Amino acid sequence: MFDVLVYLYETYWRPDACPDHAQLTRKLTAVGFENDEIQEALSWLDGLAAAGESYQGEQSESAMRVYSPAEIEHLGEASVGFVSFLESAGVLPGPMREMVIDRAMAISGAPMDLEDLKIIVLMVFWSLGEEPDALILDELFVAPEDRLIH
């Protein structure tokens, strides 16, 4: 499923640029994706669109997120830490954080792989038509061992 999401991100600059599900399914099949993988990705994207409809970009400065035991178990410590890092860096506002957590919880398997969570973060930005800043894109795409140290 994550390969389909990455393909959509790279191919369509905004979600509204994507064709309808039927045409998109045909295009993705032609590219070589399996039908079950495509359907899982499209269903996940429908959930993302629903979460985006209730997106509100403001949250109290004093608000604090407490993760439930089920969320910690499902996300894993590395993913919770990464979400906290993005939030403390000021690039992931509370409402977007909640969209990331919601969509991560919709993925089966625990704990979540950090690389998969990074794709979810990227897709949340994409779904809202927002471009993450360059340093965050570097964090999302470049493996730590491949980074150049200045």
pLDDT digits (tens, 9 = 90+) for 86-115: 988 888 888 899 999 999 999 988 788 999
**Structural domains of the chain, count:** 1
pTM: 0.83
Q: How confident is the model at residue 149 (pLDDT cuts 50, 70, 90)?
A: very low
Token pair belonging to 140: 């999302």
Distances (CA, A) of 11 to 58, 101, 142: 30, 25, 19
> What is the residue-averaged pLDDT of the chain?
84
Domain that includes residue 92, residue range:
2-56+63-146
- At 17 the pLDDT is 84
36-64: b or e for each residue (b if 16 or more CB lie within 10 Å)?
A: eebebbbebbeebeebbeeeeeeeeeeee
